[in-house]
Homo-oligomer: A and B are copies of this chain.
Amino acid sequence: MRSVSVIGIGETKFGRFPERSLKDLILEAGAKAIDDSGIGREDIGALFMSNYNAQGFSGQGHLGPLAAEVLGLGNVPTLRVEGACASGSLAFRQALSAVASGMYDVVLVGGVEKMTHQSTEAVTAGLAGASDMELEAGLGATFPSIFAMIANRYFHEYGNVRDEMALCAVQNHDHALLNPDAQLQKRITVEQVKNGLPIAHPFTIFDCSLVSDGAAFVVLAATDVAKAVCRKRLVEVVGCGQAGDTVTLAAKKSMTTFAATVHAAKQAYGMAGIKPAQIDLAEVHDCFTITQIINSEDLGFFAKGKGAAAVAEGKTAAHGLMPINVSGGLKAKGHPIGATGLSQIYEIVTQLRGEGDARQLKKADIGLTHNIGGTAATCVVSIFRGR
């Protein structure tokens, strides 16, 4: 397997865009990534698309060739990958493998989701399709209720961390203030979070990630090829791991340790030869506040049961010891599902290149992305290193 690097990134602003179609979002983010890479369309060997549910939300399937047509890529092979909220990272991993194996020298990988034109009920039902329709969603369980059960179990095992969860949301909102692509750019307080609209105890609306429209694209190239064309700091993909777990919460061995995260992280760290303490920044899946806290432990950044305290101690803030979600995360940057995993990579590459402007970290040489699908039934962890 040969070394692969990211040579181009592009994303749309995330938000509510009733005037923009799926094709419009694809065109903006895809063209930005291609332009950023310095390569021509004729050099792209394949297109890997990520999308969760455009069939449900807009009636549109077959997004691979649709995106290729919009972007003018001719007869390139395409496909769409879906793995719930981890779809973007799964498409990235397939693209990575295709270049690493020597199958293609340069590939484009993109993700898109358009959700805000649907009613809250329709979006909630569409999202619930990432759980088990017979055993969970069909009985009325939606993701806020499933992750609320996880939060309550976490309280039982490690103590009540309601305040720290709220602070996690506050921090991600603070981060998003400096990200021009973020959907929400407003400061919130711990009191606002705790007194927000109740969703599923202990969550209020401020513990939940956003419903968003948006797209994000990445161009990958064999590092040897990348060196010849890349005009910016080369960002090498040094590690990538993937693991799964049961879809149903009831079948999992633990509710407060995500086995898929643990396994995927172990693979990624092993491949990279890097320890958690060496990571300068991470984008960690935060569909709910408790999710970020649990994942930050399962990724090895903090000891089990200590993830909440780390938030309270400011370790996860932008200029803390282990900055998490300096983009604003799913919570404040937004969560257009198919685009999310690729937008995490967009942020890491931006920081590793030193292009973060107002939100640029002082030290950003090694970054990690972590993306889960459903109740952590799918997980991809990737590690990037600036060269």
Contacts and interface: CB of A to CB of B under 8 A. Distances in A.
B94 A251 contact: no
A270 to B, nearest CB: 14
Given A56-B55, A101-B103, A82 B62 contact: yes
A278 to B, nearest CB: 24
A82 B83 contact: no
B75 A79 contact: no
A56 B56 contact: yes
B59 A263 contact: no
Interface in A72-98: 73-84, 90, 94, 97-98
A358 B134 CA distance: 39
Given A53-B61, A62-B84, A101-B1, A76 B129 contact: no
B244 A64 contact: yes
A243 B378 contact: no
B78 A80 contact: no
Interface in A332-352: none
A200 interface: no
Question: Chain A interface mostly helix, strand, loop or mixed?
Answer: mixed
B61 A130 contact: yes
A132 interface: yes
A69 interface: yes
Contacts of A74: 244
A97 to B, nearest CB: 6
Interface string A94-112: 1001101111000000000
Interface in A243-297: 243-248, 251, 259-260, 263
A59 B378 contact: no
Contacts of A84: 61-62
Contacts of A1: 101-103
Contacts of A101: 1, 97, 100-103
Contacts of A377: 62, 65-66, 69
Interface in A120-156: 125-126, 128-134, 137
A118 interface: no
- What is the count of identical protomers in the complex? 2
A142 to B, nearest CB: 12
A75 B251 contact: no
A94 B65 contact: no
Contacts of A301: none
A76 B133 contact: no
B133 A58 contact: yes
29 contacts: A52-B61, A53-B55, A55-B55, A55-B129, A56-B56, A58-B133, A59-B128, A59-B129, A60-B129, A61-B130, A62-B83, A62-B84, A62-B130, A62-B377, A65-B373, A65-B377, A76-B243, A76-B244, A77-B242, A77-B243, A78-B83, A78-B378, A79-B81, A79-B82, A79-B83, A81-B81, A81-B82, A97-B103, A101-B102
Interface of A: 1, 21, 23, 47, 52-53, 55-56, 58-66, 68-69, 73-84, 90, 94, 97-98, 100-103, 125-126, 128-134, 137, 242-248, 251, 259-260, 263, 373-374, 377-378
The 10 A-B pairs with the shortest beta carbon distances in the complex, nearest first, are A101-B101, A65-B377, A77-B242, A61-B129, A62-B130, A62-B84, A80-B82, A60-B133, A69-B246, A79-B90
Given A47-B244, A76-B243, A101-B103, 15 more contacts: A1-B101, A23-B134, A53-B55, A55-B55, A55-B56, A56-B56, A59-B133, A62-B374, A64-B244, A65-B83, A65-B373, A69-B377, A73-B244, A81-B82, A101-B101
